[in-house]
Amino acid sequence: MPPIWDIFCKVVDNFGDAGVCWRLAQILQREHGLRVRLWLDDLATLRALAPAVDPASAPQEVEGISILRWTDQPAMHDADVVIEAFGCGLPDAYVTRMAARSCPPLWIVLEYLSAESWVDSHHGMPSPHPRLSLQRYFFFPGFTAASGGLLREADLIGRREAFGDGARSAFWRNLSFDVPAPSVLTLSLFAYADAPVTALLTAIANDGEPAIVAVPDGVLMPSVRAFFGATDDAARSWRRGALEVRALPFLPQWRYDELLWACELNFVRGEDSLVRALWAARPLVWQPYRQDDGAHLRKMEAFLQHYCAGMSAAALGPVTALWRAWNGAAVDWNTALWSEFRAVREDWAVHAGRRAQDFAESAEMAAELVKFVRNRVE
């Protein structure tokens, strides 16, 4: 019988934690033949990403994965591997059961993604439990060979490459929108509420070059509606100058991938959408989750060093300025930033495709997890 892997996840206030854990669970089950149980404290958030999930039902099985509530009692069948996602901890009763076993499961603390240099030296390090005879291991996703790699389904690149003009047209029509003309720049916009959305929209509207901005439903919609002075609750698109904004429903994971593939520039936030935007092989602007001590800016700069490696000198300045302005560092948003992006857009697009290929040739996170476990069990 295949080994059982338990993944524990608590949803803080965004979709990324549940999104990463759901992707990981799917890859472990589909590509590595493991029995996976996903323990969550918020099934409604998972349903937004995977509509087949029923928030009122647990335990339940969706796509071959068992889904349980955080408060459920430990299952009869003990797990072989336990993943504690993002320092969420484990239920006390579950830990007590682990400690009572003659052969405890392998306990892995899955950390947040970071490009900072210290990650490589901490990846895989053991950490004994402070009270019980249990050992934990820290697993860090990352962008180097010394880290745990990036999540990627085996067929993802092929699906992206198969997403041609016909699929792009079908994507927009399925959402009841006209297909953008080839001369119109298309952007997706997924960000936290404190992003300078009004400044971005103003710059695009005043630029003179036509652009469509697709905004999935969420925390940005009040700012978008206020920008246009919108009063019609049923409206799904607005125009000002060269700008058209389209209000999209919140998309499940597989459709969000299609949105990224359908656009020529993607503004993304957090961990899960950053990695998916990398695999989309399109120019991207990332907003890390804001932290009071400014750690999010250090994460941004560390990632920029990896992402911009090999970028042309002409594109490097405008790209880094755009990222820093979007995240409230260095300069404020202005129309000049947008014009500078326009000037280097083609160079950036070539670079984005090259970096996506580079990252795809490195380690895949789920496979690295399986290897990590095998090396400590055998």
Q: What is the CATH number of domain 4-150+363-377?
A: 3.40.50
Domain with CATH 3.40.50 in the chain: 4-150+363-377, 156-282+303-360
HSE of 231, CA atoms in CB hemisphere, 13 A: 0
Q: Tell me how far the alpha carbon of residue 139 is from its chain's centroid.
A: 17
Query: pLDDT (tens digit, 9 = 90+) per residue, 227-263?
Result: 999 887 788 999 999 899 999 999 999 999 999 999 9
Confidence of residue 208 (pLDDT cuts 50, 70, 90): confident
Comparing CA positions, the residue from 125, 109, 117 lying closest to residue 144 is 117
| Burial of 350 from C-beta contacts in 10 A (0-12 / 13-18 / 19+) | middle
- Does the structure show a pLDDT above 80 at 59? yes
pLDDT score of 152 more than 70: yes
The SS3 assignment for 136 reads strand
Q: Which of 6, 244, 257, 271 is catalytic?
A: 271
For 255-280, how does the pLDDT look when each residue is reduced to its tens digit (9 = 90+)? Answer: 999 999 999 999 999 999 999 999 99
How is domain 156-282+303-360 classified at the architecture level of CATH? 3-Layer(aba) Sandwich (3.40)
Average pLDDT over the chain, rounded to an integer: 92
Of 6, 17, 258, 340, the catalytic one is 17
CB 267 within 8 A of CB 284: yes
pTM check: above 0.85 = yes
Going by pLDDT thresholds of 50, 70 and 90, the confidence category of residue 12 is confident
pLDDT digits (tens, 9 = 90+) for 30-54: 999 999 999 998 899 899 999 999 9
Closest to 11 in 3D by CA, of 51, 49, 64: 49
The pLDDT of residue 65 is above 70: yes
pLDDT in the model for residue 57: 87
Tokens 């999930």 -> residue: 53
pLDDT at residue 303 tops 90: yes
Closest CA to 69 of 36, 90, 43, 97: 43
Give the number of other Cβ atoms within 10 Å of residue 222's Cβ.
11
Report the pLDDT value the prediction gives residue 331, as an integer from 0 to 100.
Answer: 63
Q: Is 17 a catalytic residue?
A: yes
Annotation says 61 is catalytic: no
